[in-house]
Amino acid sequence: MLITLKDGKTMELEAPITGLELAGKLSQALKKEALAMHVNGKLEGLSTQITDDAQVEFLTFADEDGRKVYRHSASHLLAQAVKRILPNTKLAIGPAIENGFYYDFDSEEPFSPELLKKLEKEMDKIVKANYPIERFELPREEAIAFCREKGEPYKVELIEDLPEDSVISFYKQGDFTDLCAGPHLPSTGKLKAVALQQVAGAYWRGSEKNKMLQRIYGTAFDTKENLKAYLDRLEEAKKRDHRKLGKELGLFMLAEEGPGFPFFLPKGTVLRNTLLEYWREVHKKYGYVEIITPMILNRELWERSGHWDHYKNNMYFTKIDEQDFAVKPMNCPGGMLVYKNEPRSYRDLPLRCGELGLVHRHELSGTLHGLMRVRCFTQDDAHIFMTREQVKDEIKNVVRLFDEVYSLFNLKYEIELSTMPEDHIGTVEEWEENQNILRSAIEEMGKSCTINEGDGAFYGPKLDFHLEDCLGRTWQCGTIQLDSQMPERFDLEYTGADGEKHRPVMIHRVVFGSVERFIGIITEHFAGAFPTWLAPVQVKVLPITDRAAERSKELAAKLDSLGFRVETDLRNEKIGYKIREAQMQKVPYMLVIGDKEVESGEVAVRSRKGDMGTMSAESFIEQLTAEVKERRL
């Protein structure tokens, strides 16, 4: 038979041959690193026999499908350990998930942290035993009888939901067998680094009508070093949790009286307003005008835009004068009415309208998460109206704006092109043309994108910008949506150079995405230690003696008059205590003033990183002015 490898090389081999044997023929290093394979595009385990001509691609931990097989095998490793320690436990399901796996169990014994430690030790024994992981199949009725005999009612239920002519697959490793479609690793010894993380509750099949099971979450990596690095990042992420920091730094609060509706506290409001001042500045630079549209508009408008049909389940409603109205979940229909307010000429285009619009969306209570997932938030929206000929240049102009904003916060990004969904409006031809324009615009800028099939907005394809923070986590924030449908639905027009009426094209775009969510992201990104220009309190003046208090007040007043955000700590506390408290509040600069500084007219300067020495107040103000003006990191 003829085997064609990923690089195009071919091999003539005697059939049959397993994937593991084939990998060994290529190199011992590949045999060691390979976890699974694609055979003619289908994901297979390395124990699978290849019996005919095939295209074969070997998968390692660097490949998404390789990690999926590895982590799914780790879930079986966990299940085997649970059955050894708690034999009466009933097995449910155990899939691989992003960055790990979980398995759901029905057990009378509560799963404690002590039990997780016992399970990890038992898992180590199973790995060292290096049991072959062997697949076998049974007809549906035999499979049901097999699972009943083993006392596994959840497995029986899963099989009974399959068609009568199904052939059911199982995987066996040592004394453990589990119902599974696979594929899996060749043996348990391949699992080099596995850790159990936490226990949670989960309803069987996700329905609250069913029994609550116990879910164990875990993760698995190809080396102990990579596992440790990942767990260290998780610990660092806990310290940076914006909900924790938001409370400690007095930025925002959440109340039972308004779940999903955040309250910004004084310091958080300063942070937010500073961020929005920058937003306005950069948008003015890029040629935007700012508008404000109403929060509530009537049903007819939302039907015309298509949101009534496509987004109704996420909207809030009210009645005014016996008419149906909706609280806006997005700003675009209001932007259409602004465009239609007066006649437009080709000389007016492109027209770039920015809006900091408060929107409301009905999110399920279980999905709410600090500032990251809320029910009301401010979209830093913009709608750009243009001629067809201007589209590509406008896309590039938006990307340049994104580059400037994200680089200010030291956030890298990757771009994803989301294409036509099933519930789209408009013709396939229009969609394909707009998708090609988006792709070619960013490629001409020397950038690349991955394709996210079928995830475009219902009215147009989009470029989504996924930001990467200092912990390597990604967040979807910016988006550029190219839309030919809304201008048609709202009958938007402009007069062309030929004196005739033409239909504009429009771009919907956001930079931050949600102001609230972006604040959550940068709070975690900077661990609450915001750059000086953004910090709610930029300077804290700390007098040591009563004599120094008057000098401290004078200096604080001067800093305040120059526009800096300053506080003075006049409490009768030791200076070490005051410094530690200011550091806990992540204040960028502390000015320590004692009798010596009063005499010399200087100040002892400390940053968040440590002692900066003594300097004149004028010299410090000069340095601070430059740092804030240039918005340094």
**Can you give the CATH number for the domain in which 609 is found?**
3.40.50.800
Indicate the residue among 204, 232, 260 that finishes a domain: 232
What is the pLDDT, as a whole number, of residue 312?
A: 87
Name the residue range of residue 82's domain: 65-232
Tell whether 375 and 287 lie within a shared domain: yes
Contact criterion met (CB below 8 Å) for 48 and 39: yes
What is the pLDDT, as a whole number, of residue 583?
A: 95
Residue with tokens 């925002």: 252
Residue with tokens 């409603």: 317
Residue 125 is assigned to a structural domain of this protein: yes
Contact criterion met (CB below 8 Å) for 170 and 143: yes
What is the pLDDT, as a whole number, of residue 8?
A: 87
Q: What is the largest CA-CA distance in the chain?
A: 94
What is the pLDDT, as a whole number, of residue 64?
A: 95
Residue with tokens 């002015």: 625
DSSP string, 509-563: EESSSSHHHHHHHHHHHTTT---TTT-S--EEEEESSHHHHHHHHHHHHHHHHTT
Residue 490 is assigned to a structural domain of this protein: yes
What is the pLDDT, as a whole number, of residue 126?
A: 98
**Can you give the CATH number for the domain in which 51 is found?**
3.10.20.30
| Three-class DSSP category at 345 | strand
Rounded to an integer, what distance in angstroms lies between the CA atom of residue 60 and that of residue 418? 27
Residue 206 is assigned to a structural domain of this protein: yes
Residue 166 is assigned to a structural domain of this protein: yes
Residue 319 is assigned to a structural domain of this protein: no
Tell whether 102 and 197 lie within a shared domain: yes
DSSP string, 572-596: S--HHHHHHHHHHTT-SEEEEE-HH
Q: Helix/strand/coil (H, E, C) string of 289-333?
A: EECCCCCEEEHHHHHHHCHHHHCHHHCEEEEECCEEEEECCCCHH
Residue 440 is assigned to a structural domain of this protein: yes
pTM: 0.82
| Three-class DSSP category at 478 | strand
What is the pLDDT, as a whole number, of residue 88?
A: 96
Tell whether 467 and 599 lie within a shared domain: no
Indicate the residue among 40, 60, 80 that finishes a domain: 60
The set of catalytic residues is 332, 361, 379, 381, 383, 462, 508
Tell whether 286 and 420 lie within a shared domain: yes
Residue 473 is assigned to a structural domain of this protein: yes
Tell whether 291 and 382 lie within a shared domain: yes
**Can you give the CATH number for the domain in which 133 is found?**
3.30.980.10
Tell whether 272 and 158 lie within a shared domain: no
Residue 321 is assigned to a structural domain of this protein: no
Rounded to an integer, what distance in angstroms lies between the CA atom of residue 457 and that of residue 330? 12
Tell whether 456 and 403 lie within a shared domain: yes
Tell whether 422 and 281 lie within a shared domain: yes
What is the pLDDT, as a whole number, of residue 13?
A: 87
Mean pLDDT by 10 residues, the chain (633 residues): 89 90 92 95 94 94 96 98 97 95 96 96 97 96 96 96 92 97 96 96 92 97 95 92 96 94 97 98 97 95 88 92 94 94 96 96 89 95 96 96 96 93 87 92 94 88 92 90 91 96 95 96 95 98 93 96 96 94 96 93 93 95 97 93
What is the pLDDT, as a whole number, of residue 309?
A: 84
Residues facing residue 606 across a β-bridge: 590, 611
**Can you give the CATH number for the domain in which 258 is found?**
3.30.930.10
Domains in the chain: how many in total? 4
Tell whether 30 and 77 lie within a shared domain: no
Tell whether 394 and 468 lie within a shared domain: yes
Indicate the residue among 27, 60, 93 that finishes a domain: 60
Tell whether 400 and 472 lie within a shared domain: yes
What is the pLDDT, as a whole number, of residue 380?
A: 95
What is the pLDDT, as a whole number, of residue 608?
A: 92
Tell whether 514 and 398 lie within a shared domain: yes
